[in-house]
Chain A
Amino acid sequence: MSTMKVRKRSNAPIFWGLFGAGGMLAALFGPMLVFITGIAVPLALLLPADTMSYPKMLAFAQNFIGKAFIFAIIALFMWHAAHRIYHSLHEIGIHAGMFAKLLCYGSALVCTVISAVVLLGLGF
């Protein structure tokens, strides 16, 4: 229809996609990671005491698959959290607009870059 007004395309799919991917990873791995890193290893339950020792974790982070896993977990969790916080702010009546957007998604971007740089810096 020629009378239809031209609408601006929303960029939300980018952030929604990262949010969704992070949400799925969080649901799949979040509780398990909390258990391993927060409960099992510190309390020496079920797992060997040196599960998260420095040499083991370094080897994990130097392995290509381990590197990809750590990167995905940190970066996508951050994008998920950023999106959720941004929308929750809107819902509770704080419509900070571009500032909130930059703060939320900006911190996710910074964490993504830092984790990529650190992980690559560890070598293979």
Chain B
Amino acid sequence: MSESQKIIEIEVLRYNPESDKEPHREVYKVPFSDDMSVLQGAQYIKDNFDGSLTFRWSCRMAICGSCGMMINGIPKLSCETFLRDYYPNRISIEAMAHFPIEKDLVVDLSGFIEKLESIQPYIIPREARTLEQGEYIQSPAQFNEYIQFTSCINCTLCYAACPQFGLNPDFIGPAAMALLHRYNMDSRDGGAEQRMQLVTSEEGVFNCSAVGYCSEVCPKHVDPGNAVNINKINAAKDYFLRFLSPKGGSK
């Protein structure tokens, strides 16, 4: 290490369910270089100060969506957030807001996984086709209808940003609703009616108060807030027009 080695203070919200009653903060002095991400800062702490520090990560390049955390109170992917942007101030890292903490920076995502399953995140064919009939043809215009909503990496930063999810954990939430919208908008898919029950339900889109922070923090520019609000209109149409064209849905 050179004489001019810069050192940044990283304050970490620690929680060990086996010994701690509640989370507490610990500060580590981490030497860093300009190319080091916050994730690398956490790795430095784990390698040099406390091997029990627990956090999720994998790809280090904003693709896998594992390393989300609250960085100075803002939901961010720690792999694409750099220590140099915070130096010389202290930087605080915490587990993502609104989720139960499993250990240190790791949150329990089982509720989110259930929501992902509940939206039926797969193509429900509009029409059954045999192999002889060939593939489902889709035009570039039809492709453009949904491609934006396929970029979600399930990092759940939008849930950590959503004040309504914070108040009501049953809310289906931004990412799941964006993925639901992705399948509904796919010209090959015919499952919109099946998914409508969820959209219109008490756990559905009307929990959203159009804050828009979900779209702001989204690292992949999915704009989940837009998906939720388009589906408010779809849900309202379904609510009022269901008497004209009776179909399956919520009771």
Contact = CB atoms under 8 A, between A and B. Distances in A.
Contacts of B144: none
B206 A16 contact: yes
Interface string B50-63: 00000000000000
Given A1-B120, A17-B236, A91-B163, A10 B201 contact: yes
Contacts of A56: none
Interface of B: 118, 120, 163, 167, 194, 197-198, 200-204, 206, 209, 232, 235-236, 239-240, 249-251
A8 B201 contact: yes
29 contacts: A4-B197, A6-B250, A6-B251, A7-B201, A8-B202, A9-B197, A9-B200, A9-B201, A9-B202, A9-B239, A9-B251, A10-B200, A10-B235, A12-B206, A13-B200, A13-B206, A13-B235, A13-B239, A13-B240, A14-B239, A16-B206, A16-B236, A17-B236, A87-B209, A90-B167, A91-B163, A91-B167, A91-B209, A95-B167
Contacts of B163: 91
A16 B234 CA distance: 12
B197 A7 contact: yes
A90 B203 CA distance: 16
B250 A9 contact: yes
Contacts of A10: 200-202, 204, 206, 235
A7 B209 contact: no
Interface string A92-124: 000100000000000000000000000000000
The contact size tier of chain A is 10 to 19
Interface of A: 1, 4, 6-10, 12-14, 16-17, 87, 90-91, 95
Given A7-B201, A8-B202, A10-B204, A16 B232 contact: yes
Given A7-B250, A10-B206, A13-B200, 18 more contacts: A1-B120, A1-B194, A7-B197, A7-B201, A7-B204, A8-B201, A8-B202, A8-B250, A8-B251, A9-B200, A9-B201, A9-B249, A10-B200, A10-B202, A10-B235, A13-B236, A13-B240, A16-B206
Contacts of A4: 118, 197
A46 B232 CA distance: 42
A68 to B, nearest CB: 21
B174 to A, nearest CB: 17
Nearest to A20: B236
Contacts of A7: 197-198, 201-204, 250
A8 B204 CA distance: 10
Contacts of A8: 201-202, 250-251
A9 B250 CA distance: 5
Nearest to B197: A7
A49 B86 CA distance: 61
Across the A-B interface, give the 6 residue pairs with the lowest CB-CB distance, nearest first. Answer: A9-B250, A12-B206, A7-B201, A13-B239, A13-B236, A10-B202
Contacts of B232: 16
A77 B250 CA distance: 30
Contacts of B201: 7-10
